[in-house]
Structure 1
Amino acid sequence: MVSSSLPDAKILSVRTLDNKDARWINLVQIEYQAPDGKVRTWEAMRRPTRPKDSPVDAVHIIATRQSPGGVSEHEVLLEKQFRPPAGKVVIEFPAGLVDPNETLEECALRELREETGYVGEVTSSASGAAAGLVLFGSPASSFSRALSVMVNIDPTLPENQNPQPKLEEGEFIDCFWVPLKELHQEIRRLDAEGFAIDGKVGAFAEGIEITKLWQQ
């Protein structure tokens, strides 16, 4: 069983917030011309923090490693973090917002180090040979865009022997490794225990499981 140090997190209240008081997300109204030629409106959320030169708001880090201890299998790094909109502890990939004058690769390695303590090497990203797709997480309600960056973590490096996260004030994150071949099963188990499953993690796990079925 995966332990958690986040058992006491809970929602205390919810109130409507005006845009002038919002730091991370704004509610906007979009005026657009529909396929029928009529001018219509749509409500959506938009992050005011995206750098002008960045195609995305954030990166999601799919960090893997060869299992330590001589076991010949790959593991993927996941996090547990309480997310107030979900009202639950969420199982997710390491992730973070892009800073100004920062490449997506730099953002991925910085966020990985800050949230997990691990030092990794980018294996594919937006500017790599295997260009990443810009993902629209909720295109019906949000401008938000993200990109997944693949990172390899070498468990034999001294800096990865006892990784120490550098979390910001108010951040509470538990990290844990899951064998890729057991990911789908583990995600199902965590869901049954009451954890919320981030859509990107769930889709990743389902994709791996589908490939297993096709190989039979």
Structure 2
Amino acid sequence: MERAAALTPDRHLIEEKVAGQEILKGRFLHAFRDTVRLPNGGETTREYVVHPGAVMMIPLLDDGRLVMERQFRYPMGRVMIEFPAGKIDPGEAPLACAQRELLEETGYSAREWVRAGVLHPVISYSTEFIEIWFCRGLTLTRPQLDEGEFLEVFTATPQELLNGCRDGAITDSKTLIGAMWLQNVLSGAWKLDWQR
């Protein structure tokens, strides 16, 4: 019975675009309002943002601490605690983006990298995806922040990270998912295939 259900197409859930309208094209955001046909034949509108994708790095120091950031996020109106992350440039490979962003934001370069997975942080209104990368064998040089970018780099133990997630000090969705990945990797439940 389960196998038959798994082979059933999702047609009864799929919405089809009938018409579309661009409502904003900014430097970063590209927003649309589409009219869609619902599975029951009715119509409604969907507003969403097209996003080029991003990467998040989980940098592991040799002593087991993590490299993290504090950064003011204007839409939230407050400083947020996060793993380093950044937007993928047009034509840029995700690993190249991860390496570039780690160096720019934290001043670290890494000897080993591994792609852990992907997350979709806001599936109801954005195409955004964030690739999750672990890195280790870190060497500190000097941050190369973008013009107008201000952040504070700090280190935390895995337990401090998890405490921050539990206590509500960390609410950023990508960092919460990163903490889940880290916890499973450190426990040995999830294996990573490190590459130089």
TM-score normalised according to structure 2 size: 0.73
Q: 2:176 aligns with which of 202, 206, 213?
A: 202
CA 1:203–1:133 in structure 2 vs 1: closer, same or farther (change >3 Å)? closer
Separation (CA, whole Å) in 2 of partners of 1:151 and 1:46: 28
Q: Which has the higher strand share?
A: 2
The residue number in structure 2 matching 1:138 is 122
Q: 1:40 aligns with which of 34, 39, 44?
A: 44
Deviations 1:75-132 (A, max 9, x none): 221101100011000111111111233211111011000000001134312xxxxxx4
Q: 1:110 aligns with which of 76, 100, 104?
A: 100
Separation (CA, whole Å) in 2 of partners of 1:175 and 1:120: 16
Q: 1:19 aligns with which of 15, 24, 46?
A: 24
1:99 corresponds to 2:89? yes
Separation (CA, whole Å) in 2 of partners of 1:149 and 1:133: 7
1:182 corresponds to 2:160? yes
1:29 corresponds to 2:29? no
Please tell me the residue identity of whatever aligns with 1:199.
S
1:64 corresponds to 2:60? yes
| CA RMSD of superposed structures (Å) | 2.5
Q: 1:166 aligns with which of 121, 129, 144?
A: 144
Contact 1:83 1:90 in 2 (8 A): yes
Please tell me the residue identity of whatever aligns with 2:49.
M
Separation (CA, whole Å) in 2 of partners of 1:28 and 1:88: 28
- What's the offset of the Cα at 1:179? 1.1
Deviations 1:21-41 (A, max 9, x none): x21112211233322132322
The residue number in structure 1 matching 2:19 is none
Q: SS of the residue aligned with 2:148? A: coil
The residue number in structure 1 matching 2:72 is 82
- Unmatched 5+ stretches in structure 2: 1-22, 190-196
Separation (CA, whole Å) in 2 of partners of 1:25 and 1:101: 18
Please tell me the residue identity of whatever aligns with 1:27.
A
Structure 1 ranges of 4+ moved more than 6 A: none
Please tell me the residue identity of whatever aligns with 1:174.
E
Separation (CA, whole Å) in 1 of partners of 2:100 and 2:55: 11
1:148 corresponds to 2:135? no
Identity over the aligned pairs, expressed in percent? 31
